[in-house]
């Protein structure tokens, strides 16, 4: 029995020594690994952390989208007025008349039509050239159906005023007992009749209508959408209707065209002299 106890004690002692040796080896290996791994280098005061250095800058290379100052708004209004867009008072205030001018500019330049003046719009206005009429040498009106704008010219054919319009939608309609195609005809016409104030028509009210073809007129309307939406008339903003009517006496030549169609009326103008 005593021999067995001695043997058990010896085995226990050997196992204990083995456990101590294994633990020591593990500790030594861990310490060696720590000494081989580079620690963080000391950071100088004010120096950005490594995360700030490696994090990509989403705005890198972009110009800041700053809002326009009052002085810049006045500058844009002045330039729009010079080009014939008619902003009203140049005061740095974006009112209804200025918004109409911005919309006309955006339509003519084939920009996104928002009625708001962004910095991109400001830059485009400051670098733009004045709109040019298709025909020159005589006073007339042009309606560009693709751009959805109206151009008023002086006696030399230079553009004096640009307005946004909404023309025929090219859709069939069935309203108020009337059916037809909402179409604005292309070609050359003359103003043959006009009225002041409101005029009731079978399809709605017209403000200061200037008739150019079979009851179709250039007239003011409270709604001038960005796209063609009328029954065939040429809608212009209410704020400009009275002025436009004054500038379009009976006999005024009206040219209406798109990319595929344009007819000059220089021979008409020559015959009028």
Q: What is the CATH number of domain 141-272?
A: 2.40.440.10
Do the strands 204-213 and 216-221 form a parallel or antiparallel pair, or are they unpaired?
antiparallel
| Closest C-alpha among 260, 234, 262, 258 to residue 248 | 234
Q: Which residues of the chain have pLDDT under 50?
A: 1, 20, 25, 27, 30-64
Q: Where are the domains of the chain?
A: 70-127, 141-272
At residue 50, the pLDDT reads 37
Query: CB pairs under 8 A, 24+ apart, for 35-43?
Result: none
Judge contact between 34 and 26, C-beta under 8 A.
no
At residue 245, the pLDDT reads 98
| Closest C-alpha among 199, 200, 1, 135 to residue 9 | 1
Considering just the CA atoms, what is the radius of gyration of the chain in Å?
39
Residue 107 backbone dihedrals phi, psi, to 5 degrees: -70, -50
At residue 49, the pLDDT reads 42
Beta bridge partners of 213: 216
Judge contact between 235 and 164, C-beta under 8 A.
no
Name the 3-class secondary structure at 102.
helix
Residue 234 backbone dihedrals phi, psi, to 5 degrees: -110, 105
| Closest C-alpha among 172, 182, 143, 171 to residue 159 | 143
CA separation, residue 12 to residues 1, 22, 108, 215, 229 (Å)? 17, 16, 98, 117, 100
At residue 48, the pLDDT reads 44
């Amino acid at each position: 029995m005593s021999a067995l106890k001695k043997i058990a004690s010896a085995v226990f002692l050997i196992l204990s020594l083995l456990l101590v040796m294994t633990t020591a080896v593990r500790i030594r290996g861990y310490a060696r690994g720590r000494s081989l791994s580079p620690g963080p280098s000391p950071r100088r005061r004010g120096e950005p952390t490594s995360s700030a250095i490696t994090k990509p800058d989403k705005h890198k290379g972009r110009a800041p989208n700053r809002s326009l100052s009052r002085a810049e708004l006045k500058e844009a209004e002045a330039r729009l007025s010079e080009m014939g867009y008619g902003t009203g008072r140049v005061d740095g205030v974006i009112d209804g008349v200025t918004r109409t001018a911005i919309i006309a500019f955006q339509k003519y330049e084939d920009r996104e039509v928002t009625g708001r003046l962004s910095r991109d719009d400001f830059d485009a206005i400051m670098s733009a050239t004045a709109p040019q009429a298709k025909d020159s040498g005589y006073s007339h009106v042009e309606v560009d159906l693709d751009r959805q704008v109206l151009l008023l010219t002086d006696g030399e054919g230079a553009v004096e005023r640009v307005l946004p319009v909404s023309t025929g939608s090219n859709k069939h309609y069935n309203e108020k007992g009337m059916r037809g195609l909402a179409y604005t005809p292309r070609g050359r016409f003359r103003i043959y009749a006009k009225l002041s104030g409101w005029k009731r028509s079978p399809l709605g009210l017209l403000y200061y209508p200037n008739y150019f073809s079979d009851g179709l007129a250039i007239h003011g309307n409270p709604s001038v959408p960005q796209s063609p939406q009328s029954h065939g008339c040429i809608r212009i903003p209410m704020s400009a209707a009275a002025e436009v009517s004054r500038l379009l006496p009976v006999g005024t030549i009206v040219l209406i065209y798109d990319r595929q169609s344009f007819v000059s009326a220089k021979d008409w103008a020559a015959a009028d002299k």
